[in-house]
Structure 1
Amino acid sequence: MKKLSINGQRIVNEDGSHVILSGVNLVCKSKALGYVEPCDESLFEWFQQQGFNVIRLGLIWDGVEPEPGHYDDAYLGRIKQQVRWAAQHQIYVYLDMHQDLYSQQFGDGAPEWATLTDDLPHVTGDMWSDAYLSSPAVNRALDHFWQNTPAVDGIGLQDHYAAMWKHVASYFADCPNIIGYDMMNEPYPGSSGQQVFGAMIAAYAQNVMGMNEVDMDQLATLWFDEEKKQEILHGMADMDIYRVLMEHAQETAQAFDREVITPFFNKIAESIRTVDPDGFLMLETNYFTNMGVESGLELVQNPDGTIAHHQVYTPHGYDLVVDTDHYEIYNQERVDFIFATHRKVQNRLNVPVLIGEWGAFNGNPATYELTKAVNSIFEQYLWSNTFWCWFEGFQNTPFAKALRRGFPHTTGGVLSGYQYDYDTERIKVEYISSGGETLIYHPHAALIRAEDVRVQGAGAVCQIEIRPYYNSEAGLIAVRAEKGERIITVIAGSSRGRAVDTMY
């Protein structure tokens, strides 16, 4: 597989061709399963047939370092087997050190020895994520981590975490399809997260409920009442109000990004870079940016103060109804706003975007259209993405059918736009050709005839090859066109495959 690198806001391969990555998360949070999703090579063959060319592959700190300074290479070996299966099917991988509620004691993530709660109680809510706001134990454990409090061996928690990442990068150094490192999933501020949430709720009370004097305890109680929470979510459907709420949360959230996450990423990146000087540094954002709070994250710096190379902005994006079945109040305008906010941050940082998580859909029929709508955003911004998340039965869901879409894996030149029409199965790719090979995934590549390919433009000449995947109707359409502006249109109707129409 060709090595990937960064050129401005584009991911490119060693030929300089523009690469779009689209795939899925594969993350096992179960300690009982050893933090490894039970599967075999056939799953990765299926991923390839769906057009997935990247996987965000989860690691759990508790699995990697069950005791201070002692690493479980047998666990990492089971993960490496999945990495190798991915490589056999031309799928890139980036490693995600996953956590939810910081620790395996509350959700998944840190081992028990790295979970310092000062014996505070753990309080849960109706949804798993409520504990970020309700649990003193979770917040105290996070505070200790961000303060780099020493573990039982006298070594700081963050120092352990950095050394653990160095070991991981070294262990996977012989896997060329690993492209990068997602240093921590959805970093949460700890106790200062209460201030971020409080700013949102206070703004809601003033702008929606007309309260001049805000009783935070009363408002927090409303949020944890499921019926009242739905009323609040309905109130947040007004985008003018929603923007105000996100703006009120911004100051505290951005301070955490600048003053805590950025130095933390600098430390972890320095550790990884001693082993892998070129792997992508995947820049996650704090938990609250998932809903549209603008990130204040800064680029990773080297120890000498220079900007580290090969960085990718990898935020997440979810509507407020995530992890529920309340699709009747799903708001596409909110989703558009969230990703438009990420776009602002991308332009500030001037790096590529790979949306690390989105979706988290269930089998509700509405998820087909919702998935199409989000994919259209990725097309508009030319972003890469990994959908959350693979689970048993995934392939039979409505959203899985929408994830199986035509898109350009590799563009021989500079991609300027593409669009897939689900109804006609037609894909249009616009680019400035460098003369290199363009590879377009299509769900029905085997039905497309090379003789239907036409190239228009002064002196334009192209070569076409149809490359179906083994035992599948899906595959790649390879186009090599002369230099210049090109538009490739691929048409494959449901009744018969025909035509790749390449025009200037």
Structure 2
Amino acid sequence: MRYILFLVLFMITIPPVKAGPLHVDGSRFRTEDGRQILLRGVNVGGDTKVPPFRSIRGEKDFEPLRAWGFNSVRLMFNWEAFEAEPGVYDWDYLRYYRDMVDWAAQHDLYVIVDIHQDAFSRFAVSGCGEGFPRWALPPFQKPATPDNGENCKAWSVKAFFDIGMHIAWHHFYKNTYGVRDRYLLMLQHLGQAVADAPNLVGFDLMNEPWGLEKSELPALYYDAGSLLQSIRPNLILFLSAQILTSTGLVASQLDPIPLPHIVHATHFYDPGLQTVKSWSPWTLKTANRHWKNLLERWQSPLYLGEFGAPATLPNAVKYVDAIYDLMDQELYSGAYWVYTPGWTDANKDGWNREDFSINDDKGQLRGMYRARPYVEETPGDIMQMEWNEKSKRLALVYEATVFPEEVKIAIPSRLEWIGVEALEGKRAQNCQLLNAHQLRCVHDPKARQALRSLVFLFREREGQ
């Protein structure tokens, strides 16, 4: 009841701002004028989880991302960093977060705000979690001493068996000690801080939550989503499934909430990555079968909010390529895990000895990721997209519904564009590079046809 009254008063007193750059239309992301967008991004950044909670050191840290093939970032927000004590806010941290959103915009990157947590808090699960502040634990629980070091490598297993963590989640959803109310107030402040950012796509309301998918998560998502959409119309809500679904072996039972512009935001990590340093194509196929069944109910886009490989995985690039091949086949959007500008060989990603960072300490790409081109924007509906690494050909079939027709292709710096072929084999002459990492092709609006098929030709750039 307290929250309902708060929301009514808030909606009356705060005027909404202009709608965001994208909206949800069935299973697709679209621009305001109806063009389809694929979001291919990266999570930022790994050491945001621990003090000083500032992974990005300045605008230049976003500079490499377009060259690596990304058009968006899933930008981690740490609640503990903002509200270390209840009601005592670190406004400098909030300004820093808004600065990051603006820095991303300078490099033509969309932003998805990620309310990030793992295993509840740094003060839970033997000091191996992150996200929620210390005071969010039930008052009868003794806080652990934060560790996030060598003893926390098996943090996910520790969390699964940690009764105290599950009790903390239970009381959060029940709002027993007002923590849920404070979560919503935190979202209000954050939402207002970024509401007018032109590159803001939406909010991922809770990273990899524990909780009941039939009751606890939908109620939380509805309250949080209503609040944020009252601040910014058409804000897209990325709704993460319960954490165990990230294995791909457990099907999510999460139902869509009755709000517009919702997206099912799942994660995928093959269970063998950390245990036996291997992976199975069967697990990825099983995960996709679960996702497609779920999307029949949701009728929304699927956003693969996290996927990636540890540096120690043998032939990791094959695993990552298999995921991207599936994303191309199903036209999924998503964000690779993870970009940590301050990665070092000693500290790895900076949290629990994880080592997924896409970059090394010299700012160069590591071997588990191979950047690839993709169709970033089409004037209607993408029907098919396929990248062939061997022949360096990107095939596209689309149905035009917006005229004049304009296709944009994202090009990573390792590749050089050399031409475009139409289906009938004729060379298309109406394409030009907008910049080093984006190609635009415009077709004569008089030559309308139901389907158009193009093949974009590349070669490996010398010196890459």
TM-score (norm 1): 0.76
Q: Specify whether residues 45 and 126 from structure 1 end up closer, same or farther in structure 2 by C-alpha distance, changes over 3 A only.
A: closer
Aligned pairs (5 A) from 1:385-404: 385-391=334-340, 392=343, 393-394=359-360, 395-400=364-369, 402=370, 404=371
Q: Does 1:464 align with 2:431?
A: yes
| In 2: Cα distance, 1:45 partner to 1:31 partner | 22
Cα deviation, residue 185, structure 1: 0.6
Q: CA offsets per residue over residues 280-308 of structure 1, 9 Å max, x none?
A: 0111000111123211212222xxxxxx1
SS in structure 2 at match of 1:52: coil
Q: Specify whether residues 397 and 460 from structure 1 end up closer, same or farther in structure 2 by C-alpha distance, changes over 3 A only.
A: closer
SS in structure 2 at match of 1:57: strand
SS in structure 1 at match of 2:438: strand
Q: Does 1:171 align with 2:193?
A: yes
Match of 1:62 in 2: 80
Match of 2:15 in 1: none
Report the residue type matching 1:315 in the other structure: T
SS in structure 1 at match of 2:64: helix
Q: Does 1:284 align with 2:240?
A: yes
Aligned with 2:448 (options 478, 483, 494): 483
Cα deviation, residue 321, structure 1: 2.4
Report the residue type matching 2:453 in the other structure: I
Match of 2:160 in 1: 133
Aligned with 1:441 (options 410, 413, 420): 410
| In 2: Cα distance, 1:360 partner to 1:318 partner | 8
Aligned with 2:382 (options 415, 420, 436): 415
Aligned pairs (5 A) from 1:249-328: 256-291=212-247, 292-301=249-258, 308-324=259-275, 326-327=276-277
Q: Does 1:52 align with 2:70?
A: yes
**Percent of aligned positions with the same letter in both sequences?**
26
Match of 1:355 in 2: 304
Cα deviation, residue 122, structure 1: 6.2
| More contact order relative to length (CA 8 Å, sep ≥ 6) | 2
Q: Specify whether residues 84 and 126 from structure 1 end up closer, same or farther in structure 2 by C-alpha distance, changes over 3 A only.
A: closer
Q: Specify whether residues 340 and 43 from structure 1 end up closer, same or farther in structure 2 by C-alpha distance, changes over 3 A only.
A: farther
Cα deviation, residue 121, structure 1: 8.4
Q: CA offsets per residue over residues 397-437 of structure 1, 9 Å max, x none?
A: 2122x2x1010010122100111111222111111123321
Aligned with 2:95 (options 73, 77, 86): 77
* 8 Å CA contact 2:269, 2:308 repeated in 1: yes
| In 2: Cα distance, 1:424 partner to 1:388 partner | 27
Aligned residue pair count: 409
Structure with greater proportional helix content: 1
Match of 1:242 in 2: none
* 8 Å CA contact 1:357, 1:386 repeated in 2: yes
| In 1: Cα distance, 2:229 partner to 2:244 partner | 28
Cα deviation, residue 125, structure 1: 7.2
The alignment yields a C-alpha RMSD, in angstroms, of 2.7
* 8 Å CA contact 1:437, 1:480 repeated in 2: yes
| In 1: Cα distance, 2:287 partner to 2:170 partner | 27
Match of 2:36 in 1: 18
Question: Unpaired runs of 5+ in structure 2?
Answer: 1-18, 146-150, 344-358
Q: CA offsets per residue over residues 419-470 of structure 1, 9 Å max, x none?
A: 1111222111111123321101223698434xx545456999872112332x
SS in structure 1 at match of 2:368: helix
| In 2: Cα distance, 1:359 partner to 1:175 partner | 28
Match of 1:492 in 2: 458
Point out the structure with max Rg over C-alpha.
1
